[in-house]
Every structure is written in structure tokens, then in C-alpha cells.
Amino acid sequence: MYEFLTSPALYDFLKGPLVWISFIVFIGGSIFRITSLLSKLKNVKIIRTYMSLKYSLRSIIHWIIPFASTNMRKHPWFTVVAFLFHICLIVTPLVLLAHNKLWYESWQIRLWSIPEAVADAMTLTVIFCVIIFILRRIIAPEVRFVTFTSDFIILAIAAAPFVTGFLAYHQLFFDYKLMVALHILFGGIMLMAIPFTRLSHMLFFWLTRAYAGSDFGAVRHSRDY
């Protein structure tokens, strides 16, 4: 198994075709999920009549700014952890020097990178936040009640690229080649899981908020935040 995971042929496959497959499934799958939902909604007259740009934006803005909704103010610690988690999760891979070197090697695209110590801190923040999410799902009775095995799998999918990326960078345990191979594999799994699992909330969050915001604003004349 170890020989297989560190073989040059597997590494070439992971670094080449697997990265392509991951990005194609992520982007293609996301477009497919959004367009198929929108085409189903096209025929739902009640939604078409009361969707409002003003109330959609009002809701989205209140839900993407920390503490701008009542629910966030009621759970301040969870709000801080959830925002830190999402900011570091999305920003780190985009501004990571190791990733940007790969973009440059393949496409001569030069992207802006952050210092490696900052990337490390952001990586550890994601891992720390996932540990909090796991503990919350085990300890808090109101969350445990609605927690299934799939919730832990989703958290593992989100954490795995960060754990393996950190271990590869620091070469703490195991062989460097093995860790990079696992990292690319888990990075690809995470990207491909986004359109087809609960991680698709990244795509549908905006639509859900637009719908709830329009319903509350234009129909009930109240607020959803």
C-alpha cells in the first residue's frame, strides 16, 4: 500500500489528471446543480411573482456580516468560530504560496500570496474550528438531536486537505511524498463533494437567503434576520 501511494506513476496521476477531473467536476457539477434548480423554479409562479432584488440583497447582506442577524447575536461564540472557519477555509487555498507556485508552473499565472507563517496560522484555525464543530455536535443536546454520521463525514471532508497540507508542509510525520499524494487526493475529494453533498450550501446559500428575504420582506412585511 505504502509503495503504491508513493509510486511516481500515482503521483503523476494525482498531480495531473486528478486535479483536472476535480476542477471539472466541481465547476461543471456546480453549474449543473444551479441551472437545474433554477429551471425547476421557473415554473413555480408564486416564487416568480414575489422574488425581490431589494429584499434578497437585504437578507444576504445581513447573513454574511458577523453579528448582523439576531441568531448570530444569540450565539456569539459559534458565530466567531463559523466566520473564522469559512474565511480561512476559502481564503487559504487561494493565497497559499505552495498552490500559487503550481499555478505559475502550469499556466504562468502569478497570483498574490500571503507569508507562509500566516498560511500556517489560517490552516490551524480551520482545524481548530472543525474540532469545535465536532465537539458541539457531540456535546450540545439541541445539535446532537439532529446530528447523523454524515455530519461528521462532511466535517472530515472539509478538514482533510488542511490536515494533510499542514503535515506535508512541515514534514512532521510520515513521508513527504505520501502526505502530498494524500493531500491532493483529499483536496480533490473536497472540491468534487461541493456540488453533490451538503457542502452545496456554498452554492445554494444565496438562493435560500434570496427566497427567505423576499418572502419575509415582500409578503410578510417583516425581517428574516
Binding site for ligand HEM (CB under 6 A): 15, 19, 22, 82, 86, 89, 92-93, 96, 98-99, 102, 116, 119-120, 123, 133, 137, 151, 154-155, 158, 161-162, 165-166, 168-169, 180, 183-184, 187-188, 190-191, 194, 199, 201-202, 205
Nearest distance from residue 46's CB to ligand HEM, in Å? 25
CA distance between the termini of the chain: 51
How many beta carbons lie within 10 A of that of residue 154, not counting itself? 17
Which DSSP category does 17 fall into? I
Nearer to ligand HEM by Cβ, of 188 and 217: the residue is 188
Nearer to ligand HEM by Cβ, of 48 and 175: the residue is 175
Rounded distance, CA 50 to CA 70, Å? 24
Dihedral of the alpha carbons of 167, 172, 174, 177, in degrees to the nearest 10: 60
Nearer to ligand HEM by Cβ, of 49 and 111: the residue is 111
Contact criterion met (CB below 8 Å) for 211 and 47 = yes
9: burial class by Cβ within 10 Å (0-12, 13-18, 19+)? exposed
How many beta carbons lie within 10 A of that of residue 142, not counting itself? 7
Nearer to ligand HEM by Cβ, of 137 and 223: the residue is 137
Nearer to ligand HEM by Cβ, of 12 and 53: the residue is 12
Nearest distance from residue 109's CB to ligand HEM, in Å? 14
Nearest distance from residue 83's CB to ligand HEM, in Å? 9
Nearest distance from residue 125's CB to ligand HEM, in Å? 10
Nearest distance from residue 17's CB to ligand HEM, in Å? 11
Nearer to ligand HEM by Cβ, of 55 and 162: the residue is 162
Task: For residue 7, give the 3-state DSSP assignment.
Answer: coil
Buried b (16+ CB within 10 A) or exposed e, 40-56: eeeeeeeeeeebbeebb
Nearest distance from residue 183's CB to ligand HEM, in Å? 5
